[in-house]
Chain A
Amino acid sequence: MSKTNKSMDKTEFYQRLAEILDIEDIKPENVLKEYDQWDSLAILSVLAMADSKYGVTIRADEIRQVVTAADLAALVEAKRK
């Protein structure tokens, strides 16, 4: 929950994202919209995960600009600082 100065464990982040999408794994360059499971409920789950695991609140307009898994990871990481 708390913010730390340690850089974010990306592998762990992608694993959490894959779990939300109900898939084995996800690569940084993968486009989120291309997944059938990437719907408003998945977005809600991502917001919840960012809040509870990384202590950051992502806004609605910010998540709409995200294209790839790497974009999402970068957004969460930038907000932690």
Chain B
Amino acid sequence: MKSIFKNRKISSIVSIVPKEEYRFDDEYPIFKLTPDKAKRFKKMMSLDRHRIAAPDVCSSDLCQYGLQHLLNEGTLKKEEIGALIFVSQTPDYIIPPTSNVIQGKLSLGREMICLDINQGCSGFLLGLIQAFLLLEIAALPKVVLLNGDTCSKQIDKCNRISYPLTGDAGSVTVIERCETENPIYADVKNDGSRHKAIMIPAGGYRTPSTPETLKLREVEEGVIQSQQHFHMDGAAIFSFTMEDVPPQIDEILAFSGDTRESIEHFLFHQPNPFILKQMADKMRIPPEKLPNNVVSLYGNCSSVTIPLNIALNYREPLLQGSRRVCLSGFGVGLSWISMVMNLGPLDVCKIVEYEST
């Protein structure tokens, strides 16, 4: 599904990471990996370190901290916020929406929309689309998109594959109207027939939580999980990223009239460095145009990988000017969304560390 959004721009991006940093070299003994196996895994996935939130810290805390930071700096005012979107797979509660909780904690105005969206990998782009649409009807000029996930809480700490690759983080993105046309090209695809490829099978209403669904099982050596933990069919996801995502990139470039040369940066979701490198090679995108360092430094933090990627790798250039970029998020759903836009100049582009207050 192709769309063009006009007179919209991203004006600020703040990514928030927990202070607590853990290194694979220190952690691997808990995965019962032999030094040899650990070395192979580390090399294959370029593992180095990741950030894990403290047990009492939720994704909303990270997002709220980042939003408060923007308000304190004065680049965003409460009176400007017409909608608050919270995209997450780790909400505070089943009821009420976490966006309402955050709105209340920050004493934002009442004349606004609060919206929670359940999405992971493609969640930054799905959130942007909502933000672009909500600007049409919002009474106030800016929409705040919050992306936050503490996926480490959905994985057993002894799971030797998923745990070292995951990371917790949040981001705050401010979207507003602009006078220039600034066309933003988007392509959205979904295939719910493959929804089981990434899921938490139990704990919702289809399969409610019981002592049985909480029981830990070793599904392969060192891969320990319950029915209420994150499950991923790695082989199915691999073929999805190799077969379905590259053609979408070709489609979006054709739609926006771009080429691999005219795009300056390919800012993709970061599932893990192995799969991303494989994708980049397949799409013939030079590595210097497709940063692939988020997981090695922070872990795969779900829908936050794209804004974190931007703040980590392009802070200076985006504060100073504009870049032609192609964004792509793919995974859970299965859902895959790509966009081409001119990004920047941004008012704020940074990473802040969360400190509990």
Interface residues of chain A, those whose CB is within 8 Å of chain B, are 1, 22, 36-37, 39-41, 43-45, 47-48, 51-52, 57-60, 63-64
Known: A47-B238, A57-B239. A41 touches B161 (CB 8 A): yes
- Main DSSP-derived SS at the B contact region: helix
Give the nearest-CB partner of B222 in chain A. Answer: A39
Q: Min CB distance, A73 to chain B, in Å?
A: 18
Q: Does B44 contact A (CB under 8 A)?
A: yes
Q: Is the CB of B44 within 8 A of A45?
A: yes
Q: Is the CB of B234 within 8 A of A43?
A: yes
Contacts of A43 in B (CB 8 A): 234-235
Map CB proximity to A onto B248-289 as digits: 1 under 8 Å, 0 otherwise.
000000000000000000000000001100100110000000
Q: Does B21 contact A (CB under 8 A)?
A: no
Q: Min CB distance, B226 to chain A, in Å?
A: 18
Known: A40-B223, A41-B44, A59-B239. A51 touches B278 (CB 8 A): yes
Q: Does B233 contact A (CB under 8 A)?
A: yes
Given A39-B221, A41-B161, A44-B275: 4 more A-B contacts, CB < 8 Å = A40-B220, A44-B235, A58-B239, A63-B235
10 tightest CB-CB pairs across the interface, nearest first? Answer: A60-B235, A60-B236, A47-B238, A40-B234, A48-B278, A57-B239, A57-B243, A59-B239, A51-B242, A44-B234
Q: Is the CB of A41 within 8 A of B278?
A: no
> In the complex, A47→B238 CA distance in Å?
8
Q: Does B41 contact A (CB under 8 A)?
A: yes
Give the nearest-CB partner of A46 in chain B. Answer: B235
Q: Does B40 contact A (CB under 8 A)?
A: yes
Q: Min CB distance, B321 to chain A, in Å?
A: 36
Contacts of B282 in A (CB 8 A): 1, 51-52
> In the complex, A10→B223 CA distance in Å?
32
> In the complex, A51→B279 CA distance in Å?
10
Give the nearest-CB partner of A36 in chain B. Answer: B221
Give the nearest-CB partner of A22 in chain B. Answer: B40
Q: Is the CB of A57 within 8 A of B242?
A: yes
Known: A22-B40, A39-B221. A48 touches B238 (CB 8 A): yes
Contact of B233 among A36, A45, A60 (CB under 8 A): A60
> In the complex, A43→B239 CA distance in Å?
12
Q: Is the CB of A52 within 8 A of B278?
A: yes
> In the complex, A64→B267 CA distance in Å?
33
Contact of B235 among A22, A37, A47 (CB under 8 A): A47
> In the complex, A64→B179 CA distance in Å?
55
Can you list 29 A-B pairs, Cβ within 8 angstroms, ordered by A? A1-B282, A22-B40, A36-B221, A40-B161, A40-B220, A40-B223, A40-B235, A41-B41, A44-B238, A44-B274, A45-B44, A47-B235, A47-B239, A47-B242, A48-B238, A48-B274, A51-B242, A51-B278, A51-B282, A52-B281, A52-B282, A57-B239, A57-B242, A58-B239, A59-B235, A59-B236, A60-B233, A60-B239, A63-B235
Q: Min CB distance, A34 to chain B, in Å?
A: 13
> In the complex, A55→B155 CA distance in Å?
34
Q: Min CB distance, A30 to chain B, in Å?
A: 19
Contacts of B44 in A (CB 8 A): 41, 45
Contacts of A41 in B (CB 8 A): 40-41, 44, 161
> In the complex, A43→B220 CA distance in Å?
13
> In the complex, A36→B239 CA distance in Å?
24
> In the complex, A45→B278 CA distance in Å?
10
> In the complex, A44→B37 CA distance in Å?
15
Contacts of A22 in B (CB 8 A): 40
Map CB proximity to A onto B204-236 as digits: 1 under 8 Å, 0 otherwise.
000000000000000011010000000001111
